[in-house]
Amino acid sequence: MSARFTIKKLGAQGDGIAETESGDLFIPFTLPGETVTAARERDRAMLMAVLEASPLRIDPACRHFTECGGCALQHFEAAAYRQWKRDKVVHALKGIDCDIGELVACAPHTRRRVVLAARRTETGMLLGFNRHLSPEIISISECPISLPEIVGALDRLKALADLICATTKSFRMAVTVTGSGLDVAAHESGKLGENQRRIASNFVMAQGFARLSIDDEIIIEPRKPVVMFGSVAVAVPPGAFLQATEAAEQTMADIVGAHLERAKKVADLFAGCGSFALRLAAKSEVHAVEGDAAALSALDRGSRFATGLKRVTGERRDLFRRPLTFKELNAFDGLVFDPPRAGAEDQSKQIARSDVPFVAAVSCNPVTLARDLRILIDGGYTLKSVTPIDQFLWSPHVEAVALLEKPRRRR
């Protein structure tokens, strides 16, 4: 049963919040000041109709918006949307004195990696994204955040999903645009028989895809999927972490590189395949620390085949279980760390005790970033700047790069 509500503000996930006698009610795809009807279920509600629209409401860029759960904020006027995104970082860092820059915007049609959902049904194969807060799959024919190489291949990817499907359940297909073609990594699609493997391999070859892997096992790799980190070509392993857009990655690398340009020896913690390390190595010696063996191996191969780099070393290490100690860190005069969403609390405590003079913190979670920055500031670091970056367009997520300095003690 639907009821009438007035939206007071936006929540952290981009949902409109209506105040009710029983508490806050979250209604997706609404804006502050709007009057709507919605069907309530506990503390959430499904939008039924907008009775009085906000002047900030605009037409969405995609026909699938509100059905597909990939985007939350296409209906939000651009300038107001950007301010809301920046404010997420401002609010997370409340109580920390710092200069927070303007949001660096990312254009539509630039996302190079998406994770699609697939399932075989009685009427055929479904390929798309999950409905908002639902396991139901919405088949898509367009996607304004994704690179044209992905959108243009949706029908072929759907056909490939049908060929590799060996389960009655839904499964995931991560699709990445690389310099040598699409890298397709399926997960939980079921065990393929020999005939299925052969047919799928022939299809991948015919379509010009770079690689097909299933649960990290390479089924066929006509060409190694290569990405460029600055001037260095890296063949990435199946399931490798990459920043969502090349433009955002380059922006982050430029900010970090400028901050660490005076450093002769740099530590790159949570280094992945080397998006920071291999760029920084153009001017500095770099020690890359990463827990994933395949990613570290890709970084190492990239550095070995590159020309014009300073010395690059690698270390496989679980930084959550065994962070670099402050004594180890004191061998460096520059440091960048880019942890997962959980942040790097224990590693930050060691950095705080060190006297590394230049530190760059990269984060996709302003809340854990704020916690880690407070640890560093309490350890004597000065926070020079924070730059929010909107590489997750029309989603509630925001990236940020924080730059810190500390006077180096004489030894």
End-to-end CA distance of the chain: 71
In this structure, what token pair is assigned to residue 162? 């049908």
Strands 104-105, 382-390: parallel, antiparallel or unpaired by DSSP?
parallel
- Distance CA(369)–CA(376), nearest Å, equals 11
- Among candidate residues 71, 143, 273, 364, the one labeled active-site is 364
The annotation status of 378 as a binding-site residue, yes or no, is no
Q: Where are the beta strands (DSSP E) in 281-342?
A: 285-290, 312-316, 334-337
CA distance 197 to 311: 42
- Check if 71 is active-site: no
99 among the known binding-site residues? Answer: no
Bridge-based pairing of strands 16-20 and 44-52 is unpaired
- Rounded-to-integer distance, Cα 400 and Cα 250, Å: 13
In this structure, the dihedral spanned by the alpha carbons of residues 393, 394, 396 and 397, taken in order and rounded to 10 degrees, is -10
| DSSP code string of 233-249 | EEEPPTT----SBHHHH
Confirm whether residue 290 is marked as ligand binding.
yes
Helix (H) / strand (E) element for 304: namely: helix 293-305
Q: What is the 3-state secondary structure (H, E, C) of 338-389?
A: CCCCCCCHHHHHHHHHCCCCEEEEEECCHHHHHHHHHHHHHCCCEEEEEEEE
Report, in angstroms and rounded to the nearest whole number, the Rg of the chain calculated over CA atoms.
23
> What's the chain's length in residues?
411
Looking from the CA of 11 toward its CB, the CA atoms found within 13 Å total 17
250 labeled part of a ligand binding site? no
**What residue numbers does the annotated binding site for S-adenosyl-L-methionine cover?**
243, 270, 290, 338
* Catalytic residue set: 364
**What residue numbers does the annotated binding site cover?**
243, 270, 290, 338
